[in-house]
Amino acid sequence: MPAVRREVMVRRQHTVRRGVAALAAAGLLAGCAAEQRAGGTQGGAAPGVTATTVRIGGVLTKTSASGYSTKDAEIGAKARFERANAEGGVHGRTIEFLGAEDDGQDAAKGDAAAKKLVQKDQVFALVPVHAPNFGGAAFLEQQGVPWFGWATGPQWCGTKTGFGYNGCLAPKQGAGSQTWWGRQMADLLGGAEGKSVYVQTSDSSGSKYGGTTISQSFTAAGFELAGVNSGLPAAAPPPDWLPYVNKIMSSDGGEPPDVVVSVIAGTKFNVGLYSALKRAGYQGVLTDATSYDAAILKDQASAQALEGVIAAPMFEPFESDAPQIARLKADVEKVAPGTTLTQHLAIGYWAADIFLDMLTKAGKDLTREKFLATGNGSYAYDNPGFGRIRYPKDHSEPNGCGALVKLDGGAFQVARSMKCFDNVPLR
């Protein structure tokens, strides 16, 4: 064989060998990278999980036409995650919190936000989800992606992936329904015998569900139901409250009821309703689930409208001397000094707290499948900050816990501390 030809063949062989070696090295690096992304887990990479981090993002209603906003839940979740990270994370992994997307109180935008977080941002789970009209539930369930937040609507119930910090607030007929609000109010008012209650909701699905379950909560405690009105538009407060006020003021046999319960998402709604009722001379008790918000005290008109109102948060009030509340305050102050404590902030904090507990119990070898098996396999967590949670049971019913706070003299006071009660079947 000519020397020149032999030299060319030798060079080609060297080139091939180098190419094979390069491919092998690239394959080795890719394998190492894949192992790192999986965090050393068996059976494939877990999305959003590396050997040192777990990636999380949320969906909130930061903006809306009515002015309703849950944006403070982002601060609460961040505060809890930051403490977990400062303590070394969970099984050596810190939480990489991307913050929260805004659904604008629009179901389609909520669905798009959930898809972005899962498909583009590659999060492991969604925390917090705090949006009354959240539209991403079906997608997350289909994809097997865990999500945590305030389970205010029926989209939370009956899933295997949605974990409300307070359980399912929209149970189906026959499933357990909460009695804590009615029983706490009965205790506060010295008994329910001979007292009537009227429930005002909006025409949104979540509000209507709430009207049904809360009505039963009060009747289970011994109150007489004077009426339920779900005709209030959910998009924005009405220009004239008089038609709604007239119905309320004559609902108890032509007389006003003893208690009016507002199941409406938004301070502007409640301020409008309560102001109109007070102008009409209403002297009874006003109560709702959303007016426990220190931000309203900055506005004189809002504070005046909400004076005397009994709010019903599903967590231990900030004014409590419980150690868990002191820790919450310290965590928030560390990440956002001077932040006003709000109900939405607490919801984000406790949703993150439950996620972290479930993450701890899921173990080091983390996959979504293992995480969901942990959450749906006789999971139990008790915390005086929010009461208790039991899964999978609480996928179909509420946790049965809540407190009462009264706005008195321009300041919130604990009317009844956190307490849990047995549920009753929803009729």
Angstrom distance (rounded) from CA 407 to CA 131: 25
Q: Where are the alpha helices (DSSP H) in 3-122?
A: 3-38, 72-86, 107-115
pLDDT on residue 267:
84
Q: Please list, in sequence order, all residues whose beta carbon lies within 8 angstroms of the beta carbon of residue 189, skipping any fewer than 6 positions away.
A: 195, 258, 259, 285
Of the candidates 229, 248, 383, 406, the residue with the CA atom closest to the CA atom of residue 312: 406
Q: What confidence score (pLDDT) does residue 21 get?
A: 43
Spans of the chain below 50 pLDDT: 1-44
Integer Cα distance of 418 and 278 in angstroms: 29
Q: How far apart are CA 111 and CA 140, in angstroms?
A: 9
Residue with tokens 């805004």: 102
Do 217 and 401 form a contact (C-beta atoms < 8 A)?
no
DSSP H helices, 88-204, are: 107-115, 137-143, 180-188
Tokens encoding 37:
């992304």
Strand ranges of the sheet holding 147-149, from the earlier edge strand across to the other edge? 94-102, 53-60, 125-130, 147-149, 162-164
Show the CA angle centred on residue 27, arms to residues 24 and 30, nearest 5°. Answer: 155
Contact present, 82 and 337 (Cβ < 8 Å): no
Contact by Cβ (8 Å): 54, 90 = yes
**Alpha-carbon distances of 301 from 211, 271, 298, 307, 405, rounded to whole Å:** 27, 8, 9, 10, 20
The residue whose two tokens read 């997608």 is: 139
Give pLDDT, residue 182: 98
pLDDT of residue 271: 94
Buried b (16+ CB within 10 A) or exposed e, 81-109: bbbbbeeebbeebbbbbeebbbbbbbbeb
Q: Which helix (H) or strand (E) holds 371?
A: helix 368-375
Helix ranges restricted to H, 39-106 = 72-86
Element (H, E) at 228: strand 224-232
- Phi, psi (deg, nearest 5) at residue 144: 70, 40
pLDDT at position 29: 39
Per-residue model confidence (pLDDT) at position 266: 76
Which residue has tokens 């139901």? 225
pLDDT of residue 346: 95
Q: Note the pLDDT of residue 210.
A: 83
Q: Which amino acid is residue 53, in one-letter code?
A: T
Residue type at 200 in one-letter notation: Q
Gyration radius from the chain CA atoms: 26
pTM of the model: 0.83
Residue type, 259: V
Give the contacts of 139 (CB within 8 A, at least 6 positions apart). Answer: 111, 114, 115, 118
